[in-house]
Structure 1
Amino acid sequence: MVKTTSALFSPITIRTVQFKNRIAVSPMCQYSSEDGFANDWHLVHLGSRAVGGAGLIFTEATAVSPEGRITPDDLGIWKDDHIPGLKRITQFIKQNGSVAGIQLAHAGRKASHQRPWDGGAAIAPTGERGWQTVAPSAIPFSESEPVPVALTAAGIEKVLTDFQVATQRALDAGFSVVEIHAAHGYLLHEFLSPLSNQRTDAYGGSFENRTRLLLEVVERVQTVWPRDLPMFVRISATDWTEGGWTADDSVKLADILKTKGVDVIDCSTGGNVPNAKIPSYPGYQVEFAERIKQETGMMTAAVGLITSVEQAEAILANSRADFVLLAREFLRDPYFPLHAAHVLKEDMPWPVQYERAKPRQ
């Protein structure tokens, strides 16, 4: 074991999984799949971050059903045929000393969109490559988008089953961490927030009812996911909009998830309404990870404009979170952990193929 003095490179063990450092690759949609299949792009994209030294590498939001995709080009895990391509990736990640994580997702009313570089507009159910979206209530994300269909009891049961079966596939594909995506205005977040959930049945109204589906998804996932492997849940800690989901709600939810056996709350924000006024400055979401960690004792992951080594180190050194998740910075620099180790004077091993380029302290 390499000795470390920095918080960023302190190993951590959750259940039976050891992470060599606290740097994680945040889920980042690549919009590069055909029929949900992982391909060479995904192998190189995720594999290069393993070569770069990340402790934990998440796939992009991986759809548990075809209708759960954000775009027709999203990664998927709704059929067994998806397993081999994903397994190729997890094997490479593990061979390079990193932990492979998968984010299971359903986009809800924000599904059926074009890729960002094709304009990102919603695709009508009758449009080419489009489909009917679903949500807790028949409320579109914006006035210009198609109205989703409110999920029936049978529709909710299908969602639960889709998450459960996808979890078994994730296990078969070799993932060691599973994360349930309940953030960014996608289906599970839509149920949590009063802005998008106006149901009058057992899944709407009170806090208890609005959190019911997420808790049921957690329980279904746990019927398959081994107890010795970590489970994360990503939330949007606030809607940044009056009358929506709040930081207080997030603390309350985290307390419940802790009792349910969830290990880490991955703290993002926003995404559920189009015109939310979201402040944007370095580390603008870290306060939510810090608050949940302090008030509930849950491990948390911080994300959001974390771009420098010194910033990432300070977040962990000051016990504001247990992991830092980087997204765009990893797009700019797939080898961020290797470079961070040099800055922090940590003797982090480099891949032997790259050893001759390693800076000397």
Structure 2
Amino acid sequence: MTVTLTDSVKIGGLTLKNRLIMAPLQQYMGTPEGYATNHHIEFYGRRARHVALVVVESTAVSPNGRLFPSDIGIFTDRHVEPLRKITDAVHAQHTPVFVQLSHGGRKSSPEVTKRLIAPSAIAFDDNYGTPEALSLTDIESVVMEYRLAAKRSVQAGFDGIEIHAAHGFLIHQFMSPLSNKRTDAYGGAPENRARFLKEVLQAIREEVGRDYPVTVRISATDYAEGGLTPGDWAIMLKPLESGLDAIHVSTGGLVPVQPADVYTAYQLPHAAAIKPHFGIPVIAVGKIYTRSLADRILGDRLADMIAIGRPLIEDPDYAERLLMTRERQDDGERLTVLK
């Protein structure tokens, strides 16, 4: 049977009404303390009407892991109630909502971070500065921050969690040999570099149970020699698959290198390369903005779901038109994109 964008799909035990996801979109509208505001309530509630799932922007698990001075957090119990107002607004549209739990590591905002930390004392660039390498005690503390954030996520009414292991932030820093030069149990071999993610996932699962959806967002390539590839991620994530419910495939962010070209569906080949290794759904993202292209991706089983972001910033009703419209495109052009 041919799969299309309007077909239902499951993430764990959660059934989604279609296969269109609202990707996490940084709003830069949090308070100085990291609280969500009325802007977030209106923004997410307004865009939740037609997508199958909303993933709220990166939400800091630690005051020392905030990505921006104006991002939102979940690092105290006081953050729960503002976040609950977001989930209530999304649920009013009969749509589930996930929170993306993040820690910036060496890419935490210098303006609000009192202690810059990372797997190894390697700077992202001069603006961020050189981080302090995490001790084993530090690692335990950060894992506990993720555990507490997971507990608060449930209290805030989120239907699932996306672990942010992409875009050069702390978990990604552990995973990549470009940023992880440790010689202990958290560095070196792929299984060691994946240990921090494994412990974070275990801590989250101990809080939320196995039936609560937990996904991971990754950067499939570092766009740099010696960096991660889809094959590397397959090796590191496969042992964790039993604890995950989907893989959201993005790219880049670990080093100050941009892709050579950003074209329609430019990240799709990485999702397609990862998908055959796993039995759980794979989410593709990156300039997939037409119904015909989305259906082709799903029909060819290059991915199981499509995430969109920027069009929803500009047009809150974009998802409705995308789901209702079957556009005509040149097949030859689409085939070139999908090779």
1:58-103 Cα shifts (integer Å, max 9, x gaps): 1100000111101121110001111111111112211211111110
Counterpart contact for 1:240–1:277, Cα < 8 Å: yes
Counterpart contact for 2:42–2:89, Cα < 8 Å: no
For residue 109 of structure 1, the aligned residue among 99, 106, 110 is 106
Matches within 5 A, 1:64-103: 64-103=61-100
- CA distance in structure 1 between the partners assigned to 2:205 and 2:104 by the alignment: 21
1:318, distance to aligned residue in structure 2 (A): 1.6
- Matched residue SS, 2:191: helix
Q: Does 1:63 align with 2:46?
A: no
1:295, distance to aligned residue in structure 2 (A): 2.8
For residue 301 of structure 2, the aligned residue among 319, 327, 345 is 319
- CA distance in structure 1 between the partners assigned to 2:84 and 2:76 by the alignment: 14
Q: Does 1:7 align with 2:4?
A: yes
Q: Does 1:281 align with 2:279?
A: no
1:332, distance to aligned residue in structure 2 (A): 2.1
1:96-155 Cα shifts (integer Å, max 9, x gaps): 111111100000000115xxxxxxxxx4xxxxx452211001111014431111111111
Q: Does 1:49 align with 2:32?
A: no
- CA distance in structure 1 between the partners assigned to 2:267 and 2:299 by the alignment: 17
Provide the residue aligned with 2:34 in structure 1.
36
Counterpart contact for 1:29–1:61, Cα < 8 Å: yes
- Matched residue SS, 2:98: strand
- Matched residue SS, 1:256: helix
- Matched residue SS, 1:38: coil
- CA distance in structure 2 between the partners assigned to 1:130 and 1:80 by the alignment: 20
Provide the residue aligned with 2:162 in structure 1.
179
Whichever residue aligns with residue 13 of structure 1, its letter is K
**Change in 2 beyond 3 A, CA 1:245/1:46:** same
Whichever residue aligns with residue 234 of structure 1, its letter is R
1:178-237 Cα shifts (integer Å, max 9, x gaps): 110001000000001111111111111111111110111111100011322211011111
Whichever residue aligns with residue 44 of structure 1, its letter is E
For residue 197 of structure 1, the aligned residue among 180, 191, 195 is 180
Where structure 2 has 5 or more consecutive residues not aligned to the other structure, the ranges are: 328-339
* TM-score between both structures, scaled by the size of structure 2: 0.92
Counterpart contact for 2:74–2:80, Cα < 8 Å: yes
1:8, distance to aligned residue in structure 2 (A): 0.5
- CA distance in structure 1 between the partners assigned to 2:189 and 2:238 by the alignment: 17
Whichever residue aligns with residue 256 of structure 2, its letter is P
- Matched residue SS, 2:128: coil
Matches within 5 A, 1:347-358: none
- Matched residue SS, 1:180: strand
- Matched residue SS, 1:67: coil
Counterpart contact for 1:254–1:292, Cα < 8 Å: no
- CA distance in structure 2 between the partners assigned to 1:79 and 1:68 by the alignment: 13
Whichever residue aligns with residue 221 of structure 2, its letter is T
CA RMSD of aligned residues (A): 1.8
> What count of residue pairs does the alignment treat as equivalent?
326
For residue 319 of structure 2, the aligned residue among 302, 320, 337 is 337
Provide the residue aligned with 1:146 in structure 2.
129
**Change in 2 beyond 3 A, CA 1:226/1:293:** same
1:285-307 Cα shifts (integer Å, max 9, x gaps): 11121122123333100011122
Counterpart contact for 1:47–1:89, Cα < 8 Å: yes
Provide the residue aligned with 1:352 in structure 2.
none
Counterpart contact for 2:265–2:286, Cα < 8 Å: yes
- CA distance in structure 2 between the partners assigned to 1:63 and 1:18 by the alignment: 27
**Change in 2 beyond 3 A, CA 1:225/1:278:** farther
- CA distance in structure 2 between the partners assigned to 1:191 and 1:342 by the alignment: 42
**Change in 2 beyond 3 A, CA 1:13/1:145:** closer
- Matched residue SS, 1:178: strand
- CA distance in structure 2 between the partners assigned to 1:173 and 1:277 by the alignment: 37
1:27, distance to aligned residue in structure 2 (A): 0.8
Where structure 1 has 5 or more consecutive residues not aligned to the other structure, the ranges are: 114-122, 124-128, 346-361
Counterpart contact for 1:168–1:225, Cα < 8 Å: yes
- CA distance in structure 2 between the partners assigned to 1:278 and 1:175 by the alignment: 37
Provide the residue aligned with 1:248 in structure 2.
231
- CA distance in structure 2 between the partners assigned to 1:301 and 1:215 by the alignment: 20
Whichever residue aligns with residue 134 of structure 1, its letter is I
- CA distance in structure 2 between the partners assigned to 1:98 and 1:83 by the alignment: 19
